[in-house]
Structure 1
């Protein structure tokens, strides 16, 4: 019985030791993504682009869901055009789901007003992959029909 208890205590200690770095990483990733959406809603495109690696991989229904590489400059150009088309674009985060050390999934609703003065509301999910404090993948999913 003492042997089983000792094995249980050792396994629990190993489990807790392994969870510490993962939990710390998840908390850092969640904080990074919270800052991301703050900058997005302020339309701070250069600061937002700086949260990405020099070149990151993106998937987006707009581009046919094929992974494409974009530089920070391309990101700034794309989001500057977005805010010219939808000057009041805003993302309301519903929930942030950290997953492991490197992934965060975010559920949010994007709203804004188009050039025709019609308002839109679009539910979106993004899966971010984060390495060394930078976003390296941004996989966005929404209904674009």
Structure 2
């Protein structure tokens, strides 16, 4: 019985440890985004990751790290001050849910703000799947 309790406690700590590592990686990815370091940001993903994003359509698409870096570099060209402010983050197993507000100012126009939620799936410390939800209308 004691051995069973220790086994359960040890597995709980492993999940918490995995979740903490994944949260740290997610926050690192957002820090690279806010520093406009697109190659570093893309390095938090596997060589090819799956993305669900209204910008790509209704279905998951596969993107390489260079394609991911290029997408955000192009976005940066449109919004020089683009940044994400995390408002909530939680982990469960291999998934991290990040709530954040993205903002930026297009040249000569008013600043915009957009609430976004991303569900990041991790494997071996890297993001393998990024499901991002926001109102794109």
Q: Which one has the largest radius of gyration?
A: 1
Q: Which consecutive residues of structure 2, in runs of 5 or more, have no partner in the other structure?
A: none
Structure 1 residue 38 corresponds to structure 2 residue 7 = no
Which of 79, 82, 86 is the equivalent residue of 2:79? 86
Other-structure match for 1:128: 120
Residue 12 of structure 1, CA deviation? 3.0
State the distance in 1 between where 2:107 and 2:21 align.
38
Q: Which consecutive residues of structure 1, in runs of 5 or more, have no partner in the other structure?
A: 1-6
Q: TM-score, normalised by structure 1?
A: 0.90
Other-structure match for 1:53: 46
Residue 114 of structure 1, CA deviation? 1.5
* Matches for 1:1-145 after TM superposition, within 5 Å: 7=1, 9-100=2-93, 102-145=94-137
Q: TM-score, normalised by structure 2?
A: 0.95
- Which portions of structure 1, spanning 4 or more consecutive aligned residues, are displaced by more than 2 angstroms? 9-14
Residue 117 of structure 1, CA deviation? 1.6
Structure 2 residue matching 1:39: 3-state secondary structure: helix
State the distance in 1 between where 2:100 and 2:27 align.
12
State the distance in 2 between where 1:63 and 1:116 align.
26
Structure 1 residue matching 2:116: 3-state secondary structure: strand
